[in-house]
């Protein structure tokens, strides 16, 4: 059955504004989420173990996100409800922050947020694929992301000053930021979806064990079958392990070695990182139309490795802290684009949710051990050693992908 109730321009217009509005209304909570580890350290007295658990849970909960979209490619009629349900559940626990002041509750809320944030990505990417052409999709997505990061850079300064001025202000900030994200769901609910034809609902087949194993089997089958997709995933795996190892070290490094305030952290994360992200995002979008995604990935991983290496010089001068975060912002501009759009790019005419789901699986796998290794190295050695090791893995990943000389296959 065909849908004729809306023109292609109507889908394009509605989806373009949905991308922009989603980035703008989601950014306040995402900005605060990036400060979670520092809030735990400075306001709630979290231990290195708790920071390591937070860092480990962030990617590991992606393994549960996998099941949220497990049958999405068989139920295209559920794209919107899948996205809206994930958006609501991701923000729910933050509404209770004014009632509790507990490190473990913050850790659980942050983990649940990221779990459902990632759970909604396959549905969102498939909606963008259905409603936008390839060229406009990459342009709109990169510009929408840049607008969100620019907003985040301004918010982070204000949030940093509020957090420095009042130790309990983080509770109300999380609450109102979650409300802003909830408001966005009302607009997303009104987006039309450009189905070329309906997908008849299918009942789940097989036993419970079959349904548990099915997403894993499908994910690893794609990696084995698609050579270019496999190169992309292994490159991201090596670099991802490196950057996840670094995460437990950064709060300790900032607090004990650099002795940064919330405002200092906000300047590094928002102004310099966001500046790199905002400047580079449109450029990455244009490059993705000219170069194959695996070649761009290698550049992203090398820049990520340089971020960690230059961070080692930050005790000498604050310049290196800001410069390294500027480089990291550039790398994140590319990483954000290729990670989210890899599903639509590699899937071709197939359903993109299956490919996007593989990204989530791989994040969960490396998240199960990489942060713990980084945390253990912080305790046994120093945060410096973690920065060197993690940066080295990122650099090696970029070098390895350059060696593959991946050529663009027939996907489009």
Structural domain includes residue 3? no
Q: What is the pLDDT of residue 410?
A: 42
Render the burial of 378-409: b for 16+ CB within 10 Å, e for the rest. beeebbbebbbbbbebbbbbbebbbebebeee
200-204, 234-238, 317-321, 369-373: range with lowest mean pLDDT: 200-204
Q: Is the confidence at residue 58, as pLDDT, over 80?
A: no
Angle (CA) 57-58-64 rounded to 5° is: 75
Q: Indicate if the pLDDT at residue 379 is higher than 70.
A: yes
pLDDT band with cut points at 50, 70 and 90 for residue 381: confident
The model's pLDDT over 59-73, given as tens digits with 9 standing for 90+, comes to 777 777 767 766 655
pLDDT at residue number 195 = 65
pLDDT at 74 over 70: no
C-alpha to C-alpha distance for 119 and 108, rounded to whole angstroms: 16
pLDDT classification of 202: cutoffs 50, 70, 90: low
Asked, for residue 166, whether it belongs to a domain, the answer is yes
Residue 287 near residue 155 (C-beta atoms within 8 A)? no
- Contact 297/339 with Cβ under 8 angstroms? no
Average the pLDDT over 284-311 and give the result: 88
Q: What is the mean pLDDT of the chain?
A: 79
Q: 265 exposed, middle or buried (CB, 10 Å; 0-12, 13-18, 19+)? A: buried
* Confidence band for 310, pLDDT divided at 50, 70 and 90: very high
pLDDT of residue 197: 44
Question: CB of 341 within 8 A of CB of 22?
Answer: no
Q: Is the pLDDT of residue 36 over 60?
A: yes
Instruction: Judge residue 208's burial from the number of C-beta atoms within 10 Å of its C-beta, 0-12 exposed, 13-18 middle, 19 or more buried.
Output: exposed
Mean pLDDT of the region 43-47: 77
Residues in CB range of 274: below 8 A, 6 or more apart: 149, 150, 152, 153, 156, 329
pLDDT on residue 72: 58
Mean pLDDT across the stretch 253-269?
A: 75
Q: Which of 74-88, 253-267, 281-295 has the highest mean pLDDT?
A: 281-295
d(CA 203, CA 133): 31
323: CATH: 1.20.1250.20
pLDDT for position 412: 42
Please calculate the CA angle 40-254-269 and round it to the nearest 5 degrees.
85
Q: Which of 303, 311, 310 is nearest to 249 (CA)?
A: 311
216: domain range?
8-196+206-404
- Number of structural domains (the chain) is 1
pLDDT for the residue numbered 71? 60
pLDDT tens column, 20-29: 888 888 888 8
Alpha-carbon gap, residue 152 to 134, rounded angstroms? 27
Region 159-185 average pLDDT: 85
- Taking the CA atoms of residue 332, residue 253, residue 61 and residue 274 in that order, the dihedral angle to the nearest 10 degrees is -20
Cα–Cα distance for residue pair 394/398, rounded to 1 Å:
6
DSSP 68-119: HTTTGGG-GGGHHHHHHHHHHHHHHGGGGGGG---HHHHHHHHHHHHHHHHH
Which is more confidently placed, 159 or 209?
159
User: Has residue 397 been placed in a domain?
Assistant: yes
Residue 48 C-beta-side C-alpha neighbours within 13 Å: 18
Structure tokens at 387: 């920065």
Across 333-361, average pLDDT = 77
Can you tell me the mean pLDDT for 389-396?
93
3-state helix, strand, coil in the chain (%, to 5): 80, 0, 20
Q: Which residue has the higher pLDDT, 1 or 322?
A: 322
* Whole-number pLDDT of residue 198: 43
The average pLDDT across 241-262 equals 82
Is there a contact between 344 and 125 (Cβ–Cβ < 8 Å)? yes
Q: Is the per-residue pLDDT at 147 higher than 90?
A: no
pLDDT confidence of 204, banded at 50, 70, 90?
A: low
> Rounded mean pLDDT of 380-403?
89
1, part of any domain: no
- 411 falls within a domain: no
In the structure encoding, which two tokens stand for residue 207, read together?
A: 């036993």
Q: Is the pLDDT of residue 222 over 50?
A: yes
Q: What length is written for the chain? A: 412
306 confidence band (pLDDT: 50, 70, 90): very high
E strand or H helix at 24: helix 8-33
Tokens found for residue 242 = 């490196």
2 lies in a domain? no
- Contact partners, residue 235, CB within 8 Å, separation at least 6: 294, 297, 298, 301, 397, 398, 400, 401
Residue 169: per-residue pLDDT: 83
This prediction's pTM: 0.67
């Amino acid at each position: 059955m065909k849908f004729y109730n809306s023109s292609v321009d109507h889908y394009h217009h509605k989806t373009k504004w949905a991308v922009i509005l989603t980035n703008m209304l989601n950014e306040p909570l995402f900005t605060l989420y990036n400060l979670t580890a520092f809030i735990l350290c400075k306001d709630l007295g979290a231990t290195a173990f708790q920071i390591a658990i937070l860092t480990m849970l962030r990617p590991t909960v992606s393994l549960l996100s996998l099941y949220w979209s497990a049958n999405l490619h068989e139920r295209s009629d559920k794209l919107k409800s899948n996205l809206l349900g994930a958006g609501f559940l991701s923000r729910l626990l933050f509404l209770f922050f004014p009632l509790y002041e507990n490190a473990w509750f913050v850790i659980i809320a942050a983990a649940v947020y990221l779990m459902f944030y990632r759970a909604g990505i396959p549905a969102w990417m498939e909606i963008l694929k259905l409603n936008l052409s390839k060229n406009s999709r990459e342009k709109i997505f990169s510009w929408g992301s840049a607008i969100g990061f620019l907003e985040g850079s301004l918010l982070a300064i204000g949030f940093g000053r509020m957090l420095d001025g009042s130790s309990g202000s983080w509770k109300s900030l999380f609450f109102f930021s979650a409300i802003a994200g909830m408001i966005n769901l009302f607009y997303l609910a009104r987006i039309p979806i450009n189905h070329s034809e309906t997908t008849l609902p299918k009942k789940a087949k097989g036993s419970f064990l079959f349904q548990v194993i099915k997403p894993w089997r499908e994910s690893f089958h794609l990696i084995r079958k698609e050579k270019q997709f496999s190169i992309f995933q292994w490159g991201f795996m090596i670099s991802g392990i490196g950057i996840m190892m670094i995460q437990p070290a950064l709060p300790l490094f900032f607090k004990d070695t650099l002795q940064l305030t919330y405002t200092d952290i906000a300047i590094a994360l928002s102004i310099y990182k966001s500046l790199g992200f905002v400047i580079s995002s449109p450029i990455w979008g244009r490059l993705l139309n000219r170069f194959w995604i695996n070649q761009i990935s290698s550049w992203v991983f090398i820049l990520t490795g340089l971020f960690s290496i230059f961070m080692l010089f930050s005790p000498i001068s604050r310049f290196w802290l800001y410069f390294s975060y500027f480089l990291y912002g550039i790398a994140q501009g590319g990483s954000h684009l290729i990670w989210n759009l890899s599903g639509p790019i590699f899937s071709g005419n197939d359903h993109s949710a299956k490919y996007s789901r593989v990204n989530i699986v791989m994040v969960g796998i490396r998240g199960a051990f990489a942060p713990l290794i980084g945390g253990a190295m912080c305790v046994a050695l120093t945060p410096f050693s973690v920065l060197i090791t993690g940066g080295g893995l990122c650099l090696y990943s970029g070098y390895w992908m350059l060696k593959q000389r991946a050529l663009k296959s027939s996907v489009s």
